[in-house]
A and B are shown apart, each in its own frame.
Chain A
Amino acid sequence: MSAVGWTPSEREQERVRVRRSIRRRSVLLASTATVVVLGLLVVGLVASPGWDRFRETFLSWPDAKESFPDIARGFWLNVKMFLVAEPLILLLGGAVAIVRSTVSPLLTPLRLLAVLYTDFFRGVPTILVVFLFAFGIPALQLQGVPTDLAVLGTAALVLSYGAYVAEVIRAGIESVHPSQVASAEALGLSRGQAMRFVVLPQGVRRVVPPLMNDFVSLQKDTALVGAVGVFESLFAAQDYGNFNFNYTPYLVTAAFFVALTIPLARFTDWMGRRMMEKERGSR
């Protein structure tokens, strides 16, 4: 019964050869198609009428070098805002989602508040929320409330993204079949325990890909805080460009963001795949 005492038949060996050649052919086809498409894109770009002018203003190596340190410093601020905002968003979004999924009559006002919160913050453009926070909160002259624009901007991002994430997590919670709650309750678990040990783990796992999607998006939207004059990378690039009449720093900034989001996107893909394999088995 073991795999040891078996030699593939003549037919099987030929089949393996054929499979290999089919695979070789598809790899070749994929490579050719990729090269052709990329080549056409490059030709199309270089052959455009304004290409020389474009190269001067967007692809100037000295300007890229000169603006690099400022942009890098600014980008570090983007990363910090992102790292601070992300866990807060998860907490806020999770809390709002759980509140919206409760059924207790006592919690009705809280549920109402949660609905208002998500409706409002999903409806208002994120950049507007940033403006409101950065200019509105200092104007209130409240005691003990920070006036640092980066902090206020990050708070705006947290509230705005918290609303999206809350809805994503709620979708996950609602996707868990009611029979799961029933069987948890049949074991004597309370509603809260059922949520914590049975529903939430399954629900959140299902929405990890869209959650990661939101976080990739958040990474980029930290640049919105630059609109109120915080020296993050995009604002640094704008500052340089306005002073030197050269837009190369924009591309430098773009490169920074891409360098950060691509690994996160691959990580997301990998995690999604791994989870699917774990839950579905090999078939």
Chain B
Amino acid sequence: MSALLEVSGVRKCYGEKVVLDDVSLTVEPHDVICLIGSSGSGKSTLLRCLNLLEDIDDGVIRFEGEEISDPRIDARDVRKRIGMVFQAYNLFPHLTVLENCTLAPRQVHGVRRADAEARAQELLARFGLADQAAKHPDKLSGGQQQRAALVRALCTHPTLLLLDEITAALDPELVGEVLEIVRAEAEAGMTMVLATHEMAFAREVATKVCFLDQGRILEQGLPSEIFSNPREERTRQFLRRVL
């Protein structure tokens, strides 16, 4: 089976500062890739490069066999197939939860209103948000908002889901309910790349863990290897601090 996403030699700079340096990564279907590393190590930037929110300065990104780092590619066409959830939820405050979830299916994918709403309602119900659908996001708790954001991303049937530290802004007691959904999606076979600080979760769910340090993937491998027997000294230092 060919890789779903292939990142090779990606480089990204902001002015003089190199944020990603020669990053290479392969994502197979049904993989759950956890990006770990300290703040500023490039995890978020990498995710933003993957769905073309940022232009890369070198290297190649291939998605479903097509080079999406080609400037001639239509970024919207790529983003239709990739879902993304942000740390700060980024729900649209002027729309209800249901409208948030049906916006892209209806406007971008041309799904009929009734179908889009049925799909959204079903997902909302599965994630315990059935009675929140008619509310506006600011009326919800942080955990509920982030679950709604996950539903919004899933409503378009993405083939790849990018999660950018989606529990970092949540109270510890709310982290669990969000991770529960991610775990369920992982078990259902959704392909995901996620930046996270939840090491226990990464160890449990990830098929592969990548440790980023100063814009480079210093080490990648099975969670059992990385967490129990890291090869690099910097990985060991990092894990000692967070575990």
Chain A residues within CB distance 8 Å of chain B: 1-3, 6, 8-9, 11-12, 15, 18-19, 22, 282
Contacts and interface: CB of A to CB of B under 8 A. Distances in A.
B11 A6 contact: yes
Given A18-B70, A18-B72, A22-B71, A3 B60 contact: no
Contact of A22 (B9, B18, B58, B72): B72
B21 A12 contact: no
B219 to A, nearest CB: 18
B69 interface: yes
Contact of B69 (A1, A6, A15, A22): A15
A9 B18 contact: no
A115 to B, nearest CB: 28
Contact of A3 (B16, B70, B72, B214): B16
Nearest to B72: A18
Interface centre among A8, A11, A15, A282 (most CB of B within 10 A): A15
Nearest to B13: A3
A15 B71 contact: yes
A137 to B, nearest CB: 47
Q: Closest 5 CB pairs between A and B?
A: A12-B58, A19-B71, A18-B71, A9-B58, A3-B16
A8 B58 contact: yes
Interface string B2-16: 000000010101101
B77 to A, nearest CB: 16
Contacts, number: 33
Nearest to A1: B18
Nearest to A17: B71
A9 B71 contact: no
B59 interface: yes
B9 A9 contact: yes
A18 B69 CA distance: 12
B59 A9 contact: yes
A18 to B, nearest CB: 5
B14 A15 contact: no
B71 A12 contact: no
Nearest to B9: A9
B70 A15 contact: yes
B18 A3 contact: yes
A154 to B, nearest CB: 41
Nearest to B15: A3
Contacts of A12: 57-59
Given A18-B70, A18-B72, A22-B72, A11 B14 contact: no
A1 B16 contact: no
A255 B60 CA distance: 54
A6 B69 CA distance: 19
Contact of B14 (A2, A8, A282): A282
Nearest to A11: B60
